[in-house]
Structure 1
Amino acid sequence: MSVPHPGGDPNANLYAQLKRDVLDRVPQITAVEYVPDDVEAKQLRAIFDPARLDPPTGPESPELTVKWYRQDPHDWFRINYTDPNTGFHAGWHQDEDHPDLGHTHFQYSSPNTEDRWGITFEHETPSLILWEIVEELLEHVRATYQDANEEP
């Protein structure tokens, strides 16, 4: 069970910045939308073109969801990638869900395996953290944890 965020509203300006500075610039992403809408934005949802991913997946579009709450001393966020074609999920969470792993952790699950461990980021700025996550997802995570666990 997930521990809920500690309160407060998402920062609409932050979501606009993350959309503009990161998600709108990723060529594998074809659409970014505010959920439920741009007035009551509680999260961002980025839709991937399955044919633009390496290796391609499909026919359904994978999604990346971003929930981010600004607070001291550490922001609360949950960034989750889900591929409905393979059942693969990856998440980067800075919350209180797994205190034994520190305040930030990575987790993944596929039909064959799952794991989680504590992580740190090179940057502290939300846009740069999201860039790190997207780059890690596209360059390392999908190939290492999603594709490596497929049955031969």
Structure 2
Amino acid sequence: MAPVGFVFLANRGNLTRAKLYEAVRQRLAKEPGCDEVRFRPSRVRPRTVTARVEPAAFLGRAYPVDEAALEVTFSYPQSVDYEYYVVQWSEPGRDFGVGWHQDEDHPELGECHVQIDHAGTTAQRSSAAFVNEHPLEVLETRLDQLRALLPQIDWSGDAPRLPDDDVPGPDR
């Protein structure tokens, strides 16, 4: 049985939506600080995997809020030869979110961008590295980057921002 799992992880061409979302759910369930990992809208029709997050446990250090959420979505448009995805962190208490969006929106930023939302509006949007790997590798990469990104956010102005030199650009 283990070799089948290895082939599954190595060959994204064999992925079905159900297999992918189950693998994402299992991966997030093992992540420190993540619980209540579930499918949205349902297990039968998964379109997104969500998790409640205890930020201090997830980050391995103190954090200003006690609760956040992670949302992961993948899609397979026929118009391109790679997956679209959103890996989004949100903090309802501060009306704040940050995440990577690899999709057709904002083509002027390239295939992928990082976006900060605050108080119902987009506070910052910048080009981000295009990651064309197996979806679980994408998830690993973005979770690692999220841990590095969150402490860099500057809350001193009207809206949270990444300093210009800390925005994950196309080459990072």
TM-score by length of 2: 0.69
Answering whether residue 82 of structure 2 is matched by residue 74 of structure 1, we say yes
Percentage identity across paired residues of the two chains:
26
Q: Provide the residue aligned with 1:141 in structure 2.
A: 149
Q: How big is each residue's C-alpha offset from its partner over 1:76-123, in whole Å with a ceiling of 9 and x where there is no partner?
A: 112211111222210211111110011111111346x82222122566
Deviation at 1:58, TM superposition (A): 3.5
With a CA cutoff of 8 Å and minimum separation of 6, indicate the structure with the bigger relative contact order. 1
CA distance in 2, matches of 1:16, 1:73: 22
Whole-Å separation in 1 of the counterparts to 2:24 and 2:76: 13
- Counterpart amino acid of residue 155 in structure 2: N
* Runs of 5+ consecutive residues of structure 1 not aligned to the other structure: 1-9
TM-score (norm 1): 0.77
Q: Which among 107, 129, 149 is matched to residue 115 of structure 2? A: 107
Match of 1:34 in 2: 39
1:3-152 aligned at under 5 Å gives the runs 11-20=17-26, 22-52=27-57, 53=59, 54-59=61-66, 61-71=67-77, 72-110=80-118, 114-121=123-130, 124-138=133-147, 140-145=148-153, 148-150=154-156
Could you say what the CA RMSD is over the residues aligned between the two structures, in angstroms? 2.3
Q: Which runs of 5+ in 2 are unaligned?
A: 1-15, 158-172
Specify which structure has the higher proportion of helix. 2
Large movers: runs of 4+ above 3 Å: none
Specify the structure having the higher radius of gyration (Cα): 2
User: Is the CA contact (8 Å cut-off) linking 2:111 and 2:130 kept in structure 1?
Assistant: no
